């Protein structure tokens, strides 16, 4: 692994509450909290992406659903990047921040699998980053065709072209 960062995409309160919470939300938060702890201990930057939804949506900036989930909240001094599009690079300072820090490897987890996690993973690959997608570190609420579990399984297979897909416990930090 080169110089890496852990990127946590849109793990916000509003995506964990009814009527359509993400699949297996509690285990997801436990997995993400564990890898965040390990990254911090290894001195690997943790970068949080926070979606700013349209007015009236559950991720509208300033709404009760907008904050990053408290189970994985940023530590003082950690970077939080607000975005308005599914791609965490589009219209944000993410790319410039990564270049400035010399980061060439990204470990990605978060929600929603089929939207912002997928788009950010593909975009990172297209920009030349080495990408690891946490197979047990992303989730979905599902849709009219697939359950949340099916969306996760499908994307773990589909995104292998763009990322090394592995469980969080398989990710090694440091030397």
How wide is the angle at C-alpha 13 spanned by C-alphas 131 and 45, nearest 5°?
35
Q: Would you state the pLDDT for residue 119?
A: 98
Task: Note down pLDDT in tens along the chain; length 175 residues.
Answer: 578 999 999 999 999 999 999 999 999 999 999 999 999 999 999 999 999 999 999 999 999 999 999 999 999 999 999 999 999 999 999 999 999 999 999 999 999 999 999 999 999 999 999 999 999 999 999 999 999 999 999 999 999 999 999 999 999 997 5
The CATH code belonging to domain 4-170 is 3.40.50.850
Query: Contact at 8 Å (CB) between 68 and 12?
Result: yes
Report the alpha-carbon distance of residue 168 to residue 175 in Å, rounded.
17
Query: Contact at 8 Å (CB) between 30 and 69?
Result: no
Dump pLDDT digits (tens) for 118-136: 999 999 999 999 999 999 9
So where are the chain's domains?
A: 4-170
The overall pTM is greater than 0.95: yes
- Enter the tokens of residue 160: 């292998």
């Amino acid at each position: 692994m080169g110089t890496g960062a852990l990127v946590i995409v849109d793990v916000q309160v509003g995506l964990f509450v009814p009527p359509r919470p993400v699949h297996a939300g509690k285990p997801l938060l436990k997995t993400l909290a564990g890898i965040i702890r390990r990254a911090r201990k290894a001195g690997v930057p943790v970068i949080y992406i926070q979606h700013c939804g349209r007015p009236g949506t559950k991720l509208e900036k300033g709404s009760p659903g907008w904050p990053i989930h408290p189970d994985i909240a940023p530590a003082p001094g950690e970077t939080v990047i607000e975005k308005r599009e599914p791609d965490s690079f589009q219209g944000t300072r993410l790319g410039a921040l990564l270049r400035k820090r010399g980061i060439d490897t990204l470990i990605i987890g978060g929600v929603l699998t089929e939207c912002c996690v997928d788009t950010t993973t593909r975009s990172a690959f297209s920009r030349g980053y080495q990408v690891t997608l946490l197979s047990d570190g992303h989730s979905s609420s599902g849709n009219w065709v697939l359950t949340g579990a099916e969306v996760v399984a499908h994307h773990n297979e589909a995104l292998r072209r763009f990322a090394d897909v592995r469980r969080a416990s398989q990710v090694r930090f440091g030397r």
